Structure 1
Amino acid sequence: MGTIVVTGASRGIGLELVKTYLAKGDKVIATYRSPEPPSTLTLLQGTNQLTLHPLEVTDSQSIEAFAASLEDTHIDVLVNNAGIIGPDHQSYSDMDVQGWKQTFEINTIAPLIITNALLSHLKKSRSPKVLTISSQMGALSRESIGMFAYRSSKAAVNKVMQVLALELKAEGIIVCPVHPGWVKTDMGGDEADITVQESAEGIVKLSQSLTMNDSGKFFTWEGHEHAW
């Protein structure tokens, strides 16, 4: 039984990751952005497996308070799941610049700051892992158009995690960005390829199988290495 932290856990992939880890017997610390715990998470409470905590991933005081609340808890897997699709206007000729900045703050910067804040807790684990939910839409190996803010934030977080993997290698901490698939969520839409259950099951399975030899690689939810 491990201890798992999932950010942005109130809906979509984050919520399903919580459910999947709980079903496997893990302890889960799930964060949410709203002032009060959302019903999607409170309905899962009932045992000491699940702990809920508010977290605004762009607020340093909120991050510090969250880290302090964990006291001497060890973290086996940190899943940086919190993210946004970005502003409505994000084309080359019609860009919401403030929205683009916010997208970077949430999708790119926050995962690094949160990981650093929880580093002492990760070091208490025998096999600590940091998974950051990215997207193949940020892969430079793929050619596609539009969604400049979202794509660039995911391309950037891929590089952030690749560098972080190198810097934390001596600490024995595995770091990998993960493409969750095109998932049927509010963000992915009804035309997406896979269900949220399929994505979460794959990500959980991947988190259990990763070794230090995998650190710094970009993976898909199926456990395949993805080209950068």
Structure 2
Amino acid sequence: MITGASRGVGLALAGVFAEQGWDVIATCREGAANSSLGELSRQFPGQIRIETLDVSDAASLDALTGSLDGLPIDILVNNAGITHRDTQLGSLDYDAWRAVLEVNLLAPVRVTEALLENVVASDQKKIVAISSSLGSISRTSSGNYFYRTSKAALNMAMRSLAHDLKERGVTIALLSPGYVDTDFTRGVGGPKVSVRESAHGLFEAMTAMTIADSGRFFRYTGEDLDW
């Protein structure tokens, strides 16, 4: 299952998993199913199940949890995320900061908690949170406070969950998709990786993970990232 699958890395991941023969539960906010994700599902009839989910809305998650009751989920991918670029000291928007934390930090934990038994009931028992090198405290630089803090906190939350759930055989890891050419990075300079390349790397990393990888923070290319 992939959250935030209507565009960008989430959409590309859904496509790669489907191409490799996996059945995919692709979640998106209401209305997104009529866009690129809907087209993708028609390319892979019977393989991509589109479900409505607003990760910041508890009622929306409750509805999804009910519809998936008893369905094993081999790999739960917490991909949905947002950013907010206008983070200059002197004009910080704290409501916007809370919104970023809600989606990037609290929502992945909430989704993980809600669907944990579905994961435990599966063969692979894997949970992935899409993080970022911007969440690395040792590699930090200036600005981008909202996004950086949300990903750093996500890293800590998921690493703690990895400790708590290891006895149940659940593998939890944090993966960075790289500096991907998506709506997130449009208008920002620097060399970027294509969503296709990133998604293929993420797929390989997720499917190759074992319980020995639980608690890792690493790139889509397989290299570990500093906390």
TM over 0.5: yes
Query: Is the Cα contact below 8 Å between 1:10 and 1:38 reproduced in 2?
Result: no
Report the AA paired with residue 53 of structure 1: E
| Superposition map of 1:53-72 within 5 A | 53-72=51-70
Tell me which moved more, 147-156 or 26-35.
26-35
Query: Is the Cα contact below 8 Å between 1:183 and 1:189 reproduced in 2?
Result: no
The aligned residue for residue 92 of structure 2 is 95
Asked if 1:196 is matched to 2:195, the reply is: yes
| Superposition map of 1:89-128 within 5 A | 89-128=86-125
Partners of 1:115 and 1:173 in 2: CA distance = 11
Task: Find the residue that maps to 1:93 and give its secondary structure.
Answer: coil
Asked if 1:145 is matched to 2:142, the reply is: yes
The aligned residue for residue 80 of structure 1 is 78
- 1:72 is displaced (CA, Å) by 1.9
Partners of 2:178 and 2:185 in 1: CA distance = 9
Tell me which moved more, 40-49 or 71-80.
40-49
- CA root-mean-square deviation: 1.2
Query: Is the Cα contact below 8 Å between 2:6 and 2:32 reproduced in 1?
Result: no
In terms of fraction of residues, the more helix-rich structure is: 2
Partners of 1:34 and 1:127 in 2: CA distance = 29
- 1:35 is displaced (CA, Å) by 3.7
The aligned residue for residue 27 of structure 2 is 31
Report the AA paired with residue 10 of structure 1: S
- 1:42 is displaced (CA, Å) by 1.2
- 1:121 is displaced (CA, Å) by 0.5
Partners of 1:38 and 1:97 in 2: CA distance = 33
- 1:193 is displaced (CA, Å) by 1.9
Report the AA paired with residue 180 of structure 1: P
Task: Find the residue that maps to 1:74 and give its secondary structure.
Answer: coil
Report the AA paired with residue 65 of structure 1: A
Task: Find the residue that maps to 2:172 and give its secondary structure.
Answer: strand
5+ residue gaps, structure 1: none
**Count of matched residue pairs:** 223
Tell me which moved more, 74-83 or 26-35.
26-35
- 1:36 is displaced (CA, Å) by 5.4
- 1:67 is displaced (CA, Å) by 1.1
| Superposition map of 1:4-19 within 5 A | 5-19=1-15
Flag as ranges the 4+ runs of structure 1 deviating above 3 A: none
Query: Is the Cα contact below 8 Å between 1:92 and 1:148 reproduced in 2?
Result: no
The aligned residue for residue 158 of structure 1 is 155
